[in-house]
Amino acid sequence: MLVIRREYQLAIQKRKYRTVIAFICGLIVIILMIMGLASTDWLMADGWRQGLFMYCIADDAQQPLPFNVQEASGCYPSRNENYIHAAAGLCIITLITDLVATVLTGLGLRTKEHHTKYKYYRFGVIVMGLSLVSILIALIIYPVCFAAELNLGNRKIWEFGWAYGVGWGAAIFLFGGVVLLLCDKESEEIYYKERKIVHDNDSRA
């Protein structure tokens, strides 16, 4: 009996480590998404920087400007393109859903009641999975739709900036968090069932 209890304690400790790592992944994603949403370095060319909410024109930008923009140097609200608005909206959804999933994971870590813990993890992994899907769609539609208007770019060289890379970094951390929470949710369910069986056997004895 002591061996079984010790194995349970070791299993609990391992699950807690996985959940803590998933919680940290969620916090990192929050930081990365705020950086990505605030930056104008999603798409870059000579004298041009474009983000999800603003684009900026350098003082020495070569004419004609990309996408037939007729503006002086400075930063302006994003162009009225559906793919830019869609990517921005999906990134906001990613931030909100990841925040909710991280809170649920934290609540799961705090509670000691295994059934409640399992419910938190179950909803947490669903919400974090939604967050992962949202950022992946945003990261795919942004370059694909940009390629469709490349003939209006008026630049030979275009590159995706660090903010776009931050989006992929957030996707990687989200994927890791989903996998860890999924494993922990399943092991929590198994542990809960096994613990109930052991408890029932002890009661009969």
Rounded Cα distance between 194 and 190, Å, is 6
Q: Which pLDDT score, from 0 to 100, does residue 153 have?
A: 87
Angle between helices 162-204 and 114-148 (to 10 degrees): 160
Q: Which pLDDT score, from 0 to 100, does residue 201 have?
A: 47
Tell me: the pLDDT tens digits for 132-156?
999 999 999 999 999 999 888 889 8
- H/E stretch holding 55 reads strand 54-57
Tell me, rounded to whole angstroms, the distance of Cα 13 from its chain centroid: 26
- Residue 200 scores a pLDDT above 80: no
The sign of the CA dihedral 10, 16, 22, 24 is negative
Q: Which pLDDT score, from 0 to 100, does residue 189 have?
A: 53
The sign of the CA dihedral 132, 137, 140, 142 is negative
Amino acid (one-letter) located at 40: T
Q: Which pLDDT score, from 0 to 100, does residue 79 have?
A: 92
Lowest mean pLDDT, pick from 1-5, 16-20, 21-25, 184-188? 1-5
**Domain annotation for the chain: domains and CATH numbers:** 28-42+81-203 (1.20.140)
Are 131 and 29 contacting, i.e. CB atoms less than 8 angstroms apart?
yes
Tell me: the pLDDT tens digits for 22-44?
999 999 999 999 999 999 999 99
Are 134 and 94 contacting, i.e. CB atoms less than 8 angstroms apart?
yes
- Residue 172 scores a pLDDT above 70: yes
